[in-house]
Amino acid sequence: MEDMTNPTGPRLPSRRDFLALGAGAFVVATVPLARSRRSRRLVRRQVPMMGTIADVAVVHSDPRYAQGAIDAALSELALVERTMSRFRDDSDVGRANLVAASAPVDVTEGTAIVLTEALRWADLSDGAFDPCLARAVALWDVGSRTVPPPEAAYTLYAGRGLHRALELDRSGGHTRVLFHEADIGIDLGGIAKGYGVDRAVEALRSWGIHDALVNVGGDLHVLGVSEDGDAWKVGVRSPTNPSGLTTTVRLTDRAVATSGDYERFFDRDGRRFHHILDPATGEPRRSANHSVTVVADTCMTADAAATTVFGSPRPRAVALLAKAAPHTELLHLT
């Protein structure tokens, strides 16, 4: 953990400074609102979304216009949830998981983009990131379980490289999904939230918004500057102390995502069983660390990157990021 008493570092924010709640990264207020210029007002809304809280904040002189832009951003997030959730039979992912082992399934452009990027991370990570593990993820169900499933049940998925048996057929101007292995189930839980955040940011941009933030459960993207005119101040939550920060950083037009073992897990016999699986073993990935935070140009990249390198020692994580997404940066590994 970094030393927050370092005199050259930022001051430790108090709890009241937090502008955005969620796991992983936050945005921290820098100037009391009363001191910010009247023409630059921060308008902000938080709603439940994607199993967590979506927090959208817009800096604008007209609060009603800002609310309209926030509506548009939240609609994009809702659309991504509706098309990419594996918990709905009528989403692209739900329909593919029901049918694609026997017949091709049409998916929307957004899902095609996310699947393509997910397969790119799968290739570059030699399968450490695998978007086809929905069945193993459901089997482990770490949110409800208190004991691991039977070994024979999860070793069924070990070392299968299931992502290699997912076909995206792009002929004819649209994308169809086909499974060449019956055990494939698509799960975009490691990447779709980041894509949703980027789509929400695009919606804000199309409304002419220059300064904003979108944060969905700690996966965030900041646009321009905060209401005080300075770069947004983003803090990374400590995995061991939920009200503490491990580090803060000033960001403009960048995205941040965190993956960790401290949000969804159960502990059993001295081992932590969390929600990121090692496709080589079919079990939760062994890790000496509890969380990793990645900064990137897009939140989809940051999200996929953090899920992929979680559990890797720093040099290996840095090498993979350099190969997969050159403009990313490992902000924190703890």
Binding residues for ligand ADP, per CB under 6 A?
Answer: 129-131, 133, 137, 187, 189-190, 193, 219, 259, 263, 275-277, 279, 303, 306-307
Distance CA 324, CA 298 (A): 13
Residue 330 CB, nearest approach to Mg ion (Å):
14
- 303 part of the interface to Mg ion, by CB under 5 A: yes
Beta-carbon neighbour count of residue 215 at 10 Å?
Answer: 29
Nearer to ligand ADP, 58 or 186 (CB): 186
Q: How far is the CB of 3 from ligand ADP (least distance, A)?
A: 27
Nearer to Mg ion, 73 or 306 (CB): 306
| Of 30 and 258, CB closest to ligand ADP | 258
Q: Please, what is the minimum distance in Å from the beta carbon of residue 12 to ligand ADP?
A: 25
> Cβ of residue 62: shortest distance to ligand ADP, in angstroms?
33
- Residue 311 site contact among Mg ion, ligand ADP, none (CB < 5 to 8 Å, cut-off depends on kind): none
Beta carbon of residue 133, minimum distance to Mg ion (angstroms, whole number): 13
Residues 6+ apart with CB under 8 A from 292: 258, 259, 260, 306, 309, 310, 317, 330, 332, 333, 334
Select from 132, 75, 123 the least CA-distant residue to 279: 132
| 291 is a contact residue toward Mg ion (CB under 5 A) | no
Query: Whose CB is nearest to ligand ADP?
Result: 189
Query: What span, in angstroms and rounded, lies between the C-alpha atoms of 248 and 238?
Result: 11
Q: With CB cut-offs between 5 and 8 Å by kind, which of Mg ion, ligand ADP, none does residue 187 bind?
A: ligand ADP
Residue in the structure block whose two tokens are 């997969």:
324
Tokens of residue 89, six digits: 């039979």
What angle (nearest 5°) sits at the alpha carbon of residue 190, between those of residues 187 and 194? 120
Q: Total residues contacting Mg ion (rule CB under 5 A)?
A: 4
Binding site for Mg ion (CB under 5 A): 190, 303, 306-307
